[in-house]
């Protein structure tokens, strides 16, 4: 059985370790652990972060308190910030922007792609305590006419959405037909048509619905 690495051992590895060794260990470490190390030793923080991939840094920024996300992001060059922001989910980027003044918001928005920038602007328009303020614009939709094999092949090439536990099934006109869980997809024969395993009972709410009401509706459906 693999021995659990201590926080001090992890810190020393992140400061002095080889790139491959760091990559292997970090893959099994929750980003909040690294975030704690950074807070505990601010002098070592730049060295630790310099040894991490953009994806891991994005995960760490997402774990930071909303009001501190931007301070952590500013530790990097503008070019590096663009790469980190690209790896972050858009709702987390929106939370980061929600803590900034207008000028700082525009500086961050300028580092996003045009498509992401428009999506984030849309999310910023929703009240924090509404359904719109809770939602993300990142999701994966799959075609109702496809088979399980075709869907799996598609997912292998499209895994950037924040979550793929549930996928939205649509027809050619992009009309929502229902949802399907990833578990049902991987446990079904390759030639199964997606509609056969799709749940058509989808709960929907208005974007301005209060988040407490959304939570009640979700609990009623469970």
Per residue in 158-216, pLDDT (tens digit) is 555 444 567 778 876 667 788 888 888 888 998 898 889 888 876 554 444 444 554 44
What are the sequence ranges of the domains in the chain? Answer: 7-127, 128-222
Check residues 101 and 178 and name the one with the higher pLDDT: 101
The model's pLDDT over 115-168, given as tens digits with 9 standing for 90+, comes to 889 888 887 876 454 333 444 444 566 777 788 888 887 777 655 544 456 777
For residue 142, CA distances in Å to 7, 160, 192 come to 42, 14, 14
What is the SS3 string spanning 104-125? HHHHHHCCCCHHHHHHHHHHHC
d(CA 118, CA 96): 16
Pair 137, 123: CB distance under 8 Å: yes
51 — pLDDT class (breaks 50, 70, 90): very high
Is 90 buried (19+), middle (13-18) or exposed (0-12) by CB count in 10 A?
buried
What is this structure's pTM? Answer: 0.60
Taking residues 77-89, what's their average pLDDT?
A: 93
User: For the residues 25-46, what does the mean pLDDT come to?
Assistant: 91
Least Cα distance to 13 among 47, 46, 43, 41 occurs for 47
64: phi then psi, degrees, rounded to nearest 5: -70, 155
* For residue 219, pLDDT beyond 90: no
pLDDT at 221: 42
Tokens 């070019």 locate to 79
The predicted structure's pLDDT at residue 218: 44
Class of domain 128-222: alpha beta
Higher-confidence position of 119 and 85? 85
Residue 126: predicted pLDDT: 61
In terms of Cβ atoms closer than 10 Å to its own Cβ (0-12, 13-18, 19+), residue 215 is: exposed
Question: What share of the chain in percent tops pLDDT 90?
Answer: 33
Residue 57 pLDDT level (bands cut at 50, 70, 90): very high
Superfamily the domain 7-127 falls into? MgtE N-terminal domain-like (1.25.60.10)
């Amino acid at each position: 059985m693999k021995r659990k690495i201590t926080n001090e051992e992890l810190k020393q590895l992140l400061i002095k370790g080889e790139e491959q060794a760091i990559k292997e260990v970090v893959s099994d470490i929750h980003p909040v652990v690294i975030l704690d190390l950074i807070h505990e030793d601010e002098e070592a923080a730049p060295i630790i972060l310099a040894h991490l991939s953009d994806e891991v840094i994005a995960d760490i920024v997402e774990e930071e308190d909303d009001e501190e996300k931007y301070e952590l992001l500013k530790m990097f060059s503008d070019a590096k910030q663009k790469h980190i922001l690209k790896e972050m989910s858009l709702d987390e980027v929106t939370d980061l922007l929600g803590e900034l003044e207008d000028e700082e918001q525009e500086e961050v928005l300028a580092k996003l792609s045009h498509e992401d920038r428009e999506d984030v602007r849309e999310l910023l328009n929703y009240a924090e305590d509404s359904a719109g303020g809770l939602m993300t614009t990142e999701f994966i939709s799959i075609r109702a006419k496809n088979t399980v094999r075709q869907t799996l092949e598609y997912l292998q090439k499209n895994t950037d959405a924040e979550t793929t536990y549930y996928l939205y099934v649509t027809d050619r006109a992009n009309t929502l037909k229902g949802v399907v869980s990833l578990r049902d997809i991987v446990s079904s024969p390759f030639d199964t048509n997606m509609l056969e395993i799709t749940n058509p009972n989808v709960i929907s709410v208005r974007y301005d619905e209060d988040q407490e009401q959304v939570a009640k509706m979700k609990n009623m459906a469970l």
